[in-house]
A and B are shown apart, each in its own frame.
Chain A
Amino acid sequence: MSLFVQQVILGLMLGGVYVAVAIGFSLVWGVLNIVNLAHGALVVVGMYATWFLFTHAGIDPFLTLPLDAVVLFAIGYLVQRGLINRVIRAPLFFTLLLTFGINLVLINLFLLWFKADFRSVTTSYSGAGLNVGAVTIPYIRLAALVIAMLLAGAVGFFMNRTRTGFAIQAVGADKDAAQLVGIDLRHVYALTFAVGAACAGVAGGLLSTVQAISPTAGEPYTLQAFVVVILGGLGRVSATVVGGLLFGLIEVLAQSQVPGLGAGWSNAIAFAVLVLVLVLRPQGLLGRLA
């Protein structure tokens, strides 16, 4: 029983990471109708930023998160304004291909600068945890979960309580009408992508504390962000939170609790769930029909 509780806790914590990764992805997809294949690479930028500040300036990884956000916000704004805005009215594939190209360029830049070495952020408190009976709650993962929830809250607040958030929502709902009332589409698009990138940066900073950093470390996360957004449903922060936590749970429990199937099946199960959800409930578990 305690093992089950432990697994559930680990699943939620893994889910927290997925939430952090998927929030920005979901925002960009929902508002701009762009599936950003470079999202994982943006997460890796966040990882390297935290690693760099931690090893060269001695800054605690959790304190680097705002800096990651600022750096990625700037990168995101420029990428959208300079590149993606140029194809945003083209058919679906074009944005896919463009972001795939950006992904390729970024990964190879990492390879040039950082080589294929594995790096890690190991703090003095890494590995400390809270023991409740036979169940262990690692502090770092707990902190990552809490910060992911705070991030979700902040994005939700920004979208629903600020003028800029309203403008973004308006553009997402009807861009022509938004333009008529004087909203600068180019700026709002760039802003949206920048916020999405900033979220990726924070996610990367969090991830750097729990896993090894390498140029291709972000690849799985683009795919996982897909699954999370599909599971929860597009367009609402709360849906992403539910989707992320659920996916973390599914993955962990599929690894350990499904009799007859080992962890080797976890990818197969995750994607089978994805396809099933898409077919049976394409708007996501919490999504509204478009």
Chain B
Amino acid sequence: MGGRIRGLMSGIAALSVLVACGGATGGGTTTTTGADIILGAPLSLTGSSSKEGGLAKQGYDMWQTWVNQQGGINVKGVKHKVQIKYADDQSKPDISAQLTQSLITDQKVQFLLGPYGSGPTASDAVIAEKNSIPMVEGNGAAQAIFSKGYKYTFGVLSPANKYLQGVIDLAATLNPKPSTIAMLAADDSFSQEVAAAVNDYAPGKGFSVVYNQKYPNGSTDVSSLVAAAKAKNPDILLNSGHLAEAIAINKAAKDLQLNAKLFAYSVGPSTPDFVNALGKDSYYVMDGSQWTPQVKYKPTFYLSVADYTAAYKSTFNTQEDPDYHVAESTAACLALQKAIENAGTVTNTDKVRDALASLDVMTFFGEIKFDNRGVNVTKPMVVEQIQTDGKHHTVFPSDVADKQVQYPTPPWSQR
């Protein structure tokens, strides 16, 4: 019932604006306030990915605060404030689907922001599709769901296959040039897509993958794989997995004295936990990052990169830079906001969907422009490295880098 009334009210509001605009001489600059726009976000606030879910929530909250300070989303001169309704999906796909449906029907959310992780994203995409509600997601990079012909799901992330490409491109420029790669990957869909892309991409850049192995998602002991990788004496050790496994692999590499020249893990090193858990052992490690505070995009919309970083620090009262999980979540909100503004409607979700499909906007996160699957293919990934000052620095591509890469990684015995 509430939705109908709200719909009616915003209709009346829109009508009165039309009347006002038509009648007033200075029409177009006058703004009135419309009904709030309700967004829904199922997120892992507990469960196995609660860490990342919490970061995503920070990203959503930052945008919400900002857009409401501006008076709201401007739809043809009517400003609509934004409310985000959260639901904790406990990192479980079935619960996530249930909550997404409940957000749509019980909480009357008009648009969806994505959950954390590829599993929940896939099950929520189905719900978005069944309800014809657009969902913009910033935390599920696996591409599988985008090849199913779904119309209502859009991902602002660079897709999984790009995660470690930057590292390989970087490695190709290094001196002495590394030539062999050992690749470890968890057996979830995102990690497997990352690994498959490396296997396809690396040979063309003059590398040979000398060891390639997948391990069960959530493994705590990977030392036998690291030992097997060590026997191949690789120049580069790559991992495609998650934070816990990245920590385990780095520990095992030290335990077993695997002295690669370059260590890079898809997910993990960007988070403060990685540095806190490993201390100096985390130095020299790289990761493929969706975003870093050092990128040099020139946004036409929302905050600049520097302002975003500053706003994050003051909002959450921290010295830490925002993690890319935060940034990509904010970016999802921005895409949705811009699409609503372009569509000029809040109630016609199909028009907003079409506006998303034709969106092209430059933000602090990079360019957001979806291909016909709903994947943001234009934005590049960057490579960051934890350097010997204990901080994260962007090292590739060179036009956005703030520091030279520290290479080669010294052997464990000399650190």
Chain A: residues with CB nearer than 8 A to chain B? Answer: 2-3, 6-7, 10-11, 13-14, 17, 108, 111, 115-120, 122, 126-127, 129, 131, 134, 136, 138, 140-141, 210-212, 214, 216-217, 220, 251-252, 255-256, 262-264, 266-267
B218 near A256 with CB under 8 A, answer no
**Residues of chain B in range 212-267 having any CB-CB distance to chain A below 8 Å:** 213-216, 218-221, 223-225, 227-228, 231, 243-244, 247-248, 251, 254-257
Query: For residue A214, which residues in chain B have a CB less than 8 angstroms away from its CB?
Result: 244
Contact B224 A252 (CB under 8 A): yes
Give the residue of B225, B228, B277, B412 whose beta carbon is less than 8 angstroms from that of A118.
Answer: B277
Given A212-B244, A220-B218, A120 and B225 contact (CB-CB distance below 8 Å): no
Give chain B residues whose Cβ lies under 8 Å from the Cβ of A251: 224
**Distance of A191 Cα from B54 Cα, bound (Å):** 41
Closest to A220 in B: B220
A-B contact pairs, 11 of them (CB 8 A): A6-B227, A6-B256, A13-B223, A118-B243, A118-B277, A119-B276, A120-B247, A122-B278, A126-B254, A138-B256, A211-B221
CB–CB B244/A118 < 8 A: yes
B279 located at the interface, meaning its Cβ lies under 8 Å from any Cβ of chain A in the complex: yes
Q: Which of B48, B218, B255 has the most CB of A within 10 A?
A: B255
Across the interface, A111 reaches (CB within 8 A) one of B50, B257, B281, namely B50
A129: chain B residues within 8 A (beta carbon): 255-257
CB <8 Å contact, B214 and A264: yes
Beyond A14-B224, A216-B48, A252-B224: 16 further Cβ-contacts under 8 Å?
Answer: A2-B231, A3-B227, A6-B227, A6-B231, A10-B227, A118-B277, A141-B255, A211-B247, A211-B248, A217-B220, A220-B218, A255-B225, A256-B224, A263-B214, A263-B219, A266-B216
Q: Which residues of B contact A7 (CB under 8 A)?
A: 224, 227-228
A212 touches B247 (CB 8 A): yes
Name the residue on B nearest A134 (C-beta).
B231
Contacts of B278 in A (CB 8 A): 120, 122
Contact A263 B227 (CB under 8 A): no
Closest to A131 in B: B257
Residues of chain B within 8 A (CB-CB) of A267 are 216
**Bound state CA distance, A115 and B45, in angstroms?**
10
Q: Does B85 contact A (CB under 8 A)?
A: no
Q: Which of chain B's residues have a CB closer than 8 A to the CB of A10? A: 223-224, 227
Closest A residue, CB atoms, query B256: A136
Residues in B neighbouring A256, C-beta threshold 8 A = 224-225, 227-228
- Do B214 and A116 touch across chains, with their CB atoms under 8 A apart? no
The reply to whether A262 and B213 contact each other, CB–CB distance below 8 Å, is yes
Q: Does B129 lie at the interface of the complex (its beta carbon under 8 Å from any beta carbon of A)?
A: no
B211 to nearest A CB, angstroms?
10
B46 x A111 contact (CB < 8 A): yes
Q: Are A266 and B215 in contact (CB under 8 A)?
A: yes
Complex contact A127–B251 (CB within 8 A):
yes
Q: How far is the CA of A6 from the CA of B228 in the complex (A)?
A: 9
Known contacts A214-B244, A263-B215, A267-B216: A116-B255 contact under CB 8 Å: no
A136 surroundings in chain B (CB, below 8 A): 255-257
CB distance from A32 to the nearest CB of B (A): 28
B156-188 Cβ-contact flags toward A at 8 Å (1 or 0): 000000000000000000000000000000010
A263:B216 contact, CB within 8 angstroms: yes
- Min CB distance, B220 to chain A, in Å? 5
Number of interface residues of B (CB under 8 A): 36
How far, in Å, is B287 (CB) from chain A's closest CB?
15
Task: Knowing A3-B231, A216-B48, A266-B215 are in contact, say whether A122-B412 is a contact too (CB < 8 A).
Answer: no
* Pair B224/A255 contact, Cβ less than 8 Å: yes
> Does B76 touch A at the CB level, under 8 Å?
no
In the bound complex, what is the Cα–Cα distance between A16 and B105 (angstroms)? 53
The 7 closest A-B pairs by CB, nearest first: A120-B277, A127-B254, A138-B255, A116-B50, A252-B224, A263-B215, A264-B214
Contact A263:B255 (CB < 8 A) given known A118-B243, A256-B225 = no
**B351 contacts the other chain (Cβ, under 8 Å)?**
no
Chain A residue numbers with a CB within 8 Å of B216 are: 263-264, 266-267
Expressed in whole angstroms, the Cα–Cα distance for A143 and B277 within the complex equals 21
User: Does B215 lie within 8 Å of A264, measured CB to CB?
Assistant: yes
The answer to whether A118 and B247 touch across the interface, beta carbons within 8 angstroms, is yes
Complexed CA–CA distance, A120 and B231 (Å): 27
Q: What is the minimal beta-carbon distance from A242 to any residue of chain B, in angstroms? A: 20
Question: Is B273 part of the binding interface, using a Cβ–Cβ cutoff of 8 Å?
Answer: yes
A266 to B244, CA, bound (A): 18
Q: How far is the CA of A181 from the CA of B214 in the complex (A)?
A: 57
Q: Within the assembled complex, what's the spacing in Å between the Cα atoms of A210 and B279?
A: 15
Closest Cβ neighbor of A263 among chain B residues: B215
B51 within 8 A of A: yes
Give complex CA distance A122, B251 in Å.
9
CA distance A27 to B381 in the complex (A): 53
**Chain B residue contacts of A108, Cβ below 8 A:** 46
Q: Which residues of A contact B51 (CB under 8 A)?
A: 115-118
In whole angstroms, how far apart are the Cα atoms of A114 and B231 in the complex? Answer: 38
Nearest chain A CB to B11 CB, angstrom units? 44
Do B256 and A126 touch across chains, with their CB atoms under 8 A apart? no
B183 to chain A, nearest CB (A): 12
Q: Is the CB of B214 within 8 A of A262?
A: yes
Shortest Cβ distance from B223 into A: residue: A10
**Residue of A11, A136, A140 ringed by the most chain B CB atoms within 10 A:** A136
Q: Which residues of B contact A263 (CB under 8 A)?
A: 213-216, 219, 224-225
Contacts of A117 in B (CB 8 A): 51, 273
How many Å lie between the Cα of A220 and that of B48 in the bound state? 13
A131: B residues at CB distance < 8 A: 257
Q: Given A6-B227, A220-B220, A263-B225, do A212 and B277 touch, yes or no (CB 8 Å)?
A: yes
Most chain A beta-carbon contacts within 10 A, residue among B51, B224, B254, B256: B224
Q: How far is the CA of A220 from the CA of B244 in the complex (A)?
A: 14
B residues near A122, Cβ cutoff 8 Å: 277-279, 281
Alpha-carbon gap, A153 to B228, bound state (A): 33
Q: Which residues of B have CB within 8 Å of A119? A: 273, 276-277
- CB-CB nearest in chain A for B220: A211
CA–CA, A287 to B21, complex, Å?
88
CA distance A186 to B132 in the complex (A): 61
CA distance A255 to B220 in the complex (A): 14
Please determine whether B255 and A127 come into contact, CB atoms closer than 8 angstroms: yes
Closest to A9 in B: B227
